């Protein structure tokens, strides 16, 4: 899953696009019992709102490794 599209992946290869993929997971579970680890580095996620003006900002966040995450097709 990327910011722009969702893909079905098998054996590390993209098999097909997924038209609508939603997740049915709570933040409490993601950052609680499902959280396995956080990366030691951070990535910058820019603010990409473009209505009427360009926003200059964003956040630095670590990656998260989760044990489980529930998707709904």
Per-run averaged pLDDT (10 residues), the chain, 73 residues: 74 86 84 94 85 80 90 71
Q: In angstroms, what CA-CA distances link 59 with 48, 56, 70, 73?
A: 11, 11, 25, 29
C-alpha–C-alpha distance, residues 14 and 8, integer Å? 6
CA angle at 44 for the pair 41 and 50, rounded to the nearest 5°: 165
Q: For residue 3, what pLDDT is reported?
A: 59
- Its pTM stands at 0.57
CA 54 to chain centre: 23
Q: For residue 57, what pLDDT is reported?
A: 86
Query: Quick count: other Cβ atoms within 10 Å of Cβ 11?
Result: 5
């Amino acid at each position: 899953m990327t910011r722009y599209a969702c893909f079905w992946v098998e054996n590390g290869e993209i098999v097909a696009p997924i038209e609508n993929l939603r997740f049915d997971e709570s933040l409490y579970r993601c950052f609680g019992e499902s959280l396995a680890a956080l990366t030691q580095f951070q990535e910058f996620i820019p603010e990409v709102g473009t209505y009427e003006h360009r926003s200059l900002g964003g956040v630095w966040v670590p990656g998260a490794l989760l044990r489980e995450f529930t998707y709904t097709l």
